[in-house]
Amino acid sequence: MKPLFLSIAADQISYDNNENFTDRKSYTFNSELELKENLELFKKQIHNSIDAIVITSQGESQLKENIFNYQNKKVDFANALENVFHVPVINNIEETENEDLTELVEKETKYSAWHLDYYGLDHGKRQYGQESMQTIGNGYFGLRGTYLEAKADDDNYPGTYVAGVFNQLGTPINGRNIINEDLVNLPNAQYVTFKIDDGEYFKIDENLIKESLRSLDMKTGVLTITQLIELADGKKLKVIEKKVADLNNFHDYYLQYSIQPLNFSGKIKILTEIDATVTNTNVERYRNLANKHLATDEIKNDNKTQLLFAHTNQSNIKIGIKAAIDYQNINNPSYAVDNGPEVASQTIEFDGKEGQIYTFEKAVAIFTSLETQKNLPEIIQKHQFQPDFETAENSAQLAWKDIWKKENIVVAGDITAQKLLHLNSYSMTCAAQTKANENLDVSIGSRGLTGEGYRGHIFWDELFDMNFYVLHSPKLVKALLMYRYNRLGAAMDYASDDDFQGAMYPWQSGMYGDEQSQEVHLNPITNKWDPDNSRKQRHVSLAVAYNVLTYYNISQDEEFMQEFGLEILLNIAKLWISMAQLDENTGRYSIKNVMGPDEFHEGYPGKDNEGLKNNAYTNIMVSWLFKKLAQLLKDQPSDVASENLQRSRFTSQDVEKLDDIRQNLKLDFKDDILGQFEGYFDLKRLDFEKYRQQYGNISRMDRILKAHNDSPDNYQVAKQADTLMALFNLREEDFFQIMDDLGYPVKNTDKFMNDNIKYYIERTTHGSTLSRIVYSMLLSRIDDDKTAWKLFYEALTSDYYDIQGGTTAEGIHLGVMGATLSVVTSVFAGVDTRGDTLEINPNVPEQWEEIDFNINFKGANIAFQITQDTATIRSDKDLDVKYTDKNLPLTANQEIELTY
């Protein structure tokens, strides 16, 4: 082991490679800088490679090691150093020398890999963001990681969301009644607080909280919040609160609240509520819009059980919440209940003795009429909870163990990446998991169930997540795709409203599958509502088709394809047939009035409402879909194919058109650069530097330009990958085959890749978290590993550091999380599951020693261990694997090792 020894003081770090500090050096903090920036400068000073950091000074916290003062605030130095050095940080103070460093390092490596900790209180959007990150959930509900004692205010937002519970409200804006459909913030049943004697009920207040540690254990799904409290009158207490979601009985979550008077004895009164006065106010810019979605119907409350019934005031979803309370070590408590019109509250009062720990427990079940159509009141009244928190905690641990067995991606050599890959899988599971989703008619919103950003809507972002889900839980993906199948009718209505045929899925989908995109969008720079044309992103239907085909390829679920999948595909194809217009003179087809994934381009300069013509991404994906579909129709038994054609009203002329259109859609080129859309090359380039100097962060160039009465429509500037998204989705050989099919053969494919990737990245501001991860994948294809790694890391840490400066407050970004996991397995480990045969072509970043994981592929479960120069593969079924164009037959349960 090569440790670096550190001693931390208020204004500097002393360090040495040996624990006796015989060659002591130091780094003095620059007080103008944030700790992270200082540590990055400090890192530059360290020339030799290290694999652990040992802090030898005594920390300043009772709750966690390695907490030190930095600029008058106590900070978790272990965390901060790990985030910069990516190696484990331990504490071994000089007095307790001789502890086994290797053991301590191993312990910390494990701890850090599985814990997302926040030491101390934060404020505003930062704390909101941390709550989003520490959400617990199970696919059915998400419960934000708020302090139990908090009510919604500027620093705390105790949101509760159940998948699919949407409601619409209207708000007058600029003389129009604008209707918005929101994922509803449900009654807050996680509220628990206390008071001592005749004092006030305790509220989250940094003057009273001397220390606090919020620790999410991703391995077991338990969030633990510990606080050392000193009340205004000097009374000290320690409070430990825990939350856990039940993954099997997915209606339920459990709370445990332990309170310990440290320097006094007195009356302790615990207050807990189900609070239905809550509104949707997580997103600051929506706060002036109508936000009261719930009407309370009935409250029933006895000493130990609370019931609250409510409904959403437009969609009329019935909601029932049951809470059961219990306690340990509390003698002769006195109960009281109090029902306000919208709040069920209970108190327990008892005599507290100095030093004793009193434990209060609350179990909560949420039912809605969406999944519980019959007898909701009866079912909820009869509903039984697990006997206590500990049992619930143990069963959650077992359920998570099963999940991690399937989806754990282990990377060796980078403690930060390991933590965040766990966080991404954890968040993906909280957003959707088979046990719940099999029973639900829902899909995944772009923010999961962690906040109200984008109103909980479902976008094309599904495409970035499905690959991860399907490799680990194919059944889950089937359930998610059924959300789309069940809304095929709505998509057909949407198409016919626009005078098209087939199915046009909405850009933003909620409850009914109709279009839920906003018509106006608030520009925070000007505070004005600008028109929003993002709904013209018709490519969302291509993402749905892509997901159906990804699922089918990996699961080989014929039944799904025959009953549902083919019908979805045929209807989507029908849309594009009806959108494609033939120019008789050129024999080429054009698709007009669309937008690509780059949301900066809503149309041509000065033309507000016509969208764009021949968006390359759209046209290429249409061509790809038509080819796949034609093949699929041939491969299916003829009765199945014809039954599906009939059901989808897909005529023989339509079948013929598939071939004609897919070979003749129009693309635009300048030399070998593929134009984002027709006319793209007529646009001006933008001087990024000029704006960077004025604004610093220029990622939302659209807002900046609009604030200058200008428009991104006028320039070659993109929010995210657009043209090149086709190369993210498709295998290179398929992509170039399509270019051939379209009559635009590419002779030098390497040059094409190089030129196009470089061309577009220079014109992209990464205004969406979905951008960097796509470019990371693309750059690694052209061997720019350095930039690929940089962008990968920015994508990996995007919610952790809230790189968009406040959007994590409104919920995590599930798309980038899923895509990041996917890039690790498909690009870095190089396991490509998009073809008929599994292909392997590893490209492990030099920063990592090894990547281990399992996947499902065509009924086989395959384990991979990929290092810098070897790949060890073991499948539980016979299987062919393609490696550098050679087919390697794998025999069931026999490990093979490739050296490359």
Catalytically active residues are: 599
In DSSP terms, which residues pair with 851 in a beta bridge?
A: 411, 866
Please report how close the Cβ of residue 810 comes to ligand BGC at its closest, in angstroms. 11
Place of tokens 């037959």: 889
- Whole-number Å distance between alpha carbons of 861 and 458: 30
- Give the range of 96-104, 454-462, 518-526, 796-804 binding ligand BGC by CB under 6 A: 454-462
Q: For ligand BGC, which residue of 70, 454, 680, 715 counts as binding (CB under 6 A)?
A: 454
- Whole-number Å distance between alpha carbons of 559 and 474: 13
Please report how close the Cβ of residue 174 comes to ligand BGC at its closest, in angstroms. 23
Q: For ligand BGC, which residue of 448, 502, 597, 611 counts as binding (CB under 6 A)?
A: 597
> Smaller CB distance to ligand BGC: residue 770 or 796?
770
Amino acid at 708: H
Please report how close the Cβ of residue 799 comes to ligand BGC at its closest, in angstroms. 12
- Whole-number Å distance between alpha carbons of 529 and 525: 11
Q: Which of residues 470-499 bind ligand BGC (CB under 6 A)?
A: none
Order of strands across the sheet that contains 3-8: 25-28, 12-16, 3-8, 52-55, 89-91
> Smaller CB distance to ligand BGC: residue 516 or 578?
516
CB–CB of 231/330 below 8 Å? no
Q: For ligand BGC, which residue of 275, 393, 461, 668 counts as binding (CB under 6 A)?
A: 461
Q: Computed from CA positions of residues 718, 723, 727, 730, in that sequence, does the dihedral angle turn out positive or negative?
A: positive
- Phi/psi for 779 (5° steps) reads -65, -35
Structure tokens at 809: 């407050």
> Smaller CB distance to ligand BGC: residue 446 or 623?
446
> Smaller CB distance to ligand BGC: residue 579 or 721?
721
- Whole-number Å distance between alpha carbons of 275 and 282: 16
- Give the range of 75-83, 458-466, 480-488, 586-594 binding ligand BGC by CB under 6 A: 458-466
The length of the chain, given as a count of residues: 900
With b for 16 or more beta-carbon neighbours within 10 A and e for fewer, the 765-798 pattern comes to bbbbbbbbbbbbbbbbbbebeebbbebbbbbbbb
- Give the range of 122-130, 365-373, 453-461, 882-890 binding ligand BGC by CB under 6 A: 453-461
Give the x-and-dash track for 766-785 against ligand BGC (CB under 6 A): --x-x---------------
**427 scored as a contact of ligand BGC (CB under 6 A):** no
Q: For ligand BGC, which residue of 68, 118, 459, 624 counts as binding (CB under 6 A)?
A: 459
**Would strands 850-857 and 860-867 be described as parallel, antiparallel, or unpaired?**
antiparallel
With b for 16 or more beta-carbon neighbours within 10 A and e for fewer, the 352-369 pattern comes to beeeeebbbbbbbbbbbb
- Phi/psi for 306 (5° steps) reads -120, 145
> Smaller CB distance to ligand BGC: residue 460 or 546?
460
What 8-state DSSP symbol labels residue 809?
G
CB–CB of 565/621 below 8 Å? no
**446 scored as a contact of ligand BGC (CB under 6 A):** yes
Structure tokens at 263: 């320097």
**Which parts are annotated binding residues for substrate?**
460-461, 719-720
CA atoms within 13 A on the CB side of 855: 27
- Whole-number Å distance between alpha carbons of 362 and 325: 4
Please report how close the Cβ of residue 286 comes to ligand BGC at its closest, in angstroms. 15
> Smaller CB distance to ligand BGC: residue 597 or 611?
597
Q: Which of residues 794-823 bind ligand BGC (CB under 6 A)?
A: 815
Structure tokens at 125: 């959007």
Q: For ligand BGC, which residue of 627, 700, 719, 772 counts as binding (CB under 6 A)?
A: 719
- Give the range of 66-74, 135-143, 183-191, 455-463 binding ligand BGC by CB under 6 A: 455-463
Please report how close the Cβ of residue 767 comes to ligand BGC at its closest, in angstroms. 7
Q: Which of 466, 638, 641, 455 is nearest to 547 (CA)?
A: 466
**Which parts are annotated binding residues?**
460-461, 719-720
Amino acid at 317: I
Largest CA distance in the chain: 92
> Smaller CB distance to ligand BGC: residue 221 or 815?
815
- Give the range of 220-228, 407-415, 452-460, 698-706 binding ligand BGC by CB under 6 A: 452-460
Amino acid at 332: N
Please report how close the Cβ of residue 814 comes to ligand BGC at its closest, in angstroms. 8
- Whole-number Å distance between alpha carbons of 672 and 850: 38
- Phi/psi for 694 (5° steps) reads -80, -40
Helix H or strand E encompassing 252: strand 252-261
Q: For ligand BGC, which residue of 599, 654, 678, 702 counts as binding (CB under 6 A)?
A: 599
Please report how close the Cβ of residue 832 comes to ligand BGC at its closest, in angstroms. 24
- Phi/psi for 391 (5° steps) reads -65, -45
Please list, in sequence order, all residues whose beta carbon lies within 8 angstroms of the beta carbon of residue 448, skipping any fewer than 6 positions away. 135, 137, 142, 427, 428, 430, 431, 811, 812, 814
CB–CB of 55/62 below 8 Å? no
Cα–Cα distances in Å, from 669 out to 522, 537, 679, 756, 792?
35, 22, 10, 11, 29
Binding-site size, ligand BGC (CB under 6 A): 12
Angle, CA 224 vertex, CA 221 and CA 229 arms, to 5°:
170
Place of tokens 């009261």: 292
**842 scored as a contact of ligand BGC (CB under 6 A):** no
- Give the range of 385-393, 456-464, 706-714, 753-761 binding ligand BGC by CB under 6 A: 456-464
Please report how close the Cβ of residue 218 comes to ligand BGC at its closest, in angstroms. 23
> Smaller CB distance to ligand BGC: residue 226 or 443?
443
Please report how close the Cβ of residue 771 comes to ligand BGC at its closest, in angstroms. 8
Q: For ligand BGC, which residue of 128, 141, 202, 460 counts as binding (CB under 6 A)?
A: 460
What 8-state DSSP symbol labels residue 199?
S
**627 scored as a contact of ligand BGC (CB under 6 A):** no
Q: For ligand BGC, which residue of 188, 227, 249, 720 counts as binding (CB under 6 A)?
A: 720
Please report how close the Cβ of residue 725 comes to ligand BGC at its closest, in angstroms. 10
- Whole-number Å distance between alpha carbons of 312 and 319: 8
> Smaller CB distance to ligand BGC: residue 501 or 765?
765
Please report how close the Cβ of residue 597 comes to ligand BGC at its closest, in angstroms. 5
Interaction site with ligand BGC (CB under 6 A): 446, 454, 459-461, 597, 599, 719-720, 768, 770, 815
